[in-house]
Structure 1
């Protein structure tokens, strides 16, 4: 019986592209309103925090959609050489069950019309520095009234972050662009080498696409494998293949090892 396997690899985060990266001092967005502030990163974060608070206050019904007790908001900003937000690489979102699409679109617009005066410690292309901003709230209901309280972040926003992807064995000493291509090639070869269409799936004429997400931990280990597909037999085969992946050099954020997620759809076709 002839069969085919189709493989794609998706990098979930935006990647930088440099062999020798200068992480510090971190990139800082300076708003016109913060030009005289002592700590311009604190001022920038506080400015956006107020925008988010004002938005929720004016759209109190958004709290009705927070079915759980937490409302999550925030996003990622990447700026171009002129200091403008790169929309296709940036996002700002509000999440919660049944959030109205109109409200979500209006929330995204909170990033519009930011009066950016300058970018300090600007990273030189092709390095990408991104700014991660989170504003999460505890939502409580009391006599049909919705109240919310900002949860203080465990990690204080200090400025831009430079990411480096995990290195597949044999992909070390490459810049980010080369490492990305190398990872794609290595993992495709790994899947093809270890692929064996389950006999039971062939017998039952099972085929389709299995999506798998896994984490390369800060130790470089493959962890937290999750799958979604048309049948358990195909999902179990994908888990088997992913578990055979070797340990890798971990990804980094500003030079510190971090966990890094990957998504791979694998299509089984008879």
Structure 2
């Protein structure tokens, strides 16, 4: 390999490394140039009325699947979703599930939530990824 080729490759690798270092570390992988989706923000998105109202919403709207109840299936389903700049819930997905019925119920519950107060970063309203555990407990359900 010639000296010039070596220097060109070294320069290219240095440029790529520098670009990688400039990428914000607090952005979700679904971010685009036009629409960043943050993982860490100055002000987190909030459910209308706060965490206590979120608990009430889950308590009132969770429908424990009968076959899962009869099978004694319990635990937490971890759901991730994006709270948009307008507070809408988008792209709800299971991070860690308990089975198709409980997972589907957790997604249904999340997708039917009212709009949240969106996140803020640097004083600007932004889209933000949010993770939420949904607890399925037979003794705590109707």
TM-score by length of 2: 0.64
Equivalent position to 1:211, from 69, 75, 78 = 78
Give structure 1 stretches of 5+ with no counterpart. Answer: 1-146, 156-160, 172-182
- Provide the rounded CA distance (Å) in 1 between the counterparts of 2:88 and 2:82: 8
Q: What is the SS of the residue equivalent to 2:42? A: strand
Equivalent position to 1:233, from 85, 91, 101 = 101
Instruction: Show the counterpart of 2:31.
Output: none
Equivalent position to 1:164, from 26, 34, 43 = 43
Shift of 1:162: 7.1
Shift of 1:262: 2.0
Shift of 1:244: 1.4
Post-superposition CA distance 1:31-73 (Å, at most 9, x none): xxxxxxxxxxxxxxxxxxxxxxxxxxxxxxxxxxxxxxxxxxx
- Provide the rounded CA distance (Å) in 1 between the counterparts of 2:131 and 2:60: 19
Shift of 1:205: 2.8
- Provide the rounded CA distance (Å) in 1 between the counterparts of 2:136 and 2:46: 27
Following TM superposition, where does structure 1 have runs of at least 4 consecutive aligned residues deviating by more than 3 angstroms? 152-155
Q: What is the SS of the residue equivalent to 1:233? A: helix
- Provide the rounded CA distance (Å) in 1 between the counterparts of 2:104 and 2:86: 25
Aligned residues: 107
Q: How does 1:109-258 map to 2 (within 5 A)?
A: 149-150=16-17, 151=19, 153=22, 163-169=42-48, 171=49, 183-227=50-94, 228-258=96-126
Residues 1:247 and 1:207: Cα distance change in structure 2 (over 3 Å): same
Shift of 1:154: 6.6
Q: What is the SS of the residue equivalent to 1:164? A: coil
- Provide the rounded CA distance (Å) in 2 between the counterparts of 1:162 and 1:213: 16
Give structure 2 stretches of 5+ with no counterpart. Answer: 1-12, 25-39
Considering only aligned residues, what root-mean-square deviation do their CA atoms show, in Å?
Answer: 2.4
- Provide the rounded CA distance (Å) in 1 between the counterparts of 2:47 and 2:76: 24
TM-score by length of 1: 0.36
Greater relative CO (CA pairs within 8 A, separation 6+): 2
- Provide the rounded CA distance (Å) in 1 between the counterparts of 2:115 and 2:62: 19
Q: How does 1:96-111 map to 2 (within 5 A)?
A: none
